[in-house]
Amino acid sequence: MTKRDLVVRISEETGIVQQQVLTVVQRTLDHISEAVAAGTTVELRNFGVFEVKVRKARIGRNPNRPETDVPIPRRSVVKFKPGKEMREAVLKLPPSAATTPTPSAAPAAAPKKLSAEPPGTP
């Protein structure tokens, strides 16, 4: 599901104009992003929790040169923990349903037509 799909669905269910729904959805996402970027935990009941976790520094390995250690610095990452209802609903899904594409996904772009003429010829 894309943001556009969400806007269309909310608009159809509520009768509110899509542009107004888009504004509300975008502002909601902006406020969540701003809060998480500031290090604040965002808890949305029955949906989930967005929080910032700090990954500790560690030593990694370059698979092409395993004898060389690669220092990986500590960094902040965003974690999402789904709420109880979402977690339970996902657990009920059969494994094959989790990998099927959404029907609302845009079709793949048509391949470019190849020209028999070299580039730059009119």
pLDDT tens per residue across span 15-44: 999 999 999 999 999 999 999 999 999 999
My answer on whether 32 and 45 are in the same domain is no
Q: What is the CATH number of the domain that holds 72?
A: 4.10.520.10
Q: What share of the chain is helix, strand, coil (3-state, %, to 5)?
A: 35, 25, 35
More confident of the two residues 119 and 47: 47
Range of the domain at 67: 41-93
My answer on whether 84 and 51 are in the same domain is yes
Q: Looking at the domain assignment, is residue 108 inside a domain?
A: no
Of these ranges, 24-28, 60-64, 96-100, the one predicted with the greatest mean pLDDT is 24-28
My answer on whether 19 and 47 are in the same domain is no
My answer on whether 27 and 46 are in the same domain is no
Q: Looking at the domain assignment, is residue 55 inside a domain?
A: yes
Return the pLDDT at 96: 82
What is the number of domains present in the chain?
2
My answer on whether 7 and 32 are in the same domain is yes
**Beta 48-55 vs 42-44: how paired, if at all?**
antiparallel
Return the pLDDT at 113: 46
* Residue labelled with tokens 């929790």: 49
3-state SS assignment for residue 73: coil
3-state SS assignment for residue 115: coil
Q: Six-digit token pair at 106?
A: 């845009």
**Above 80 in pLDDT, residue 45?**
yes
My answer on whether 48 and 89 are in the same domain is yes
3-state SS assignment for residue 58: strand
My answer on whether 32 and 54 are in the same domain is no
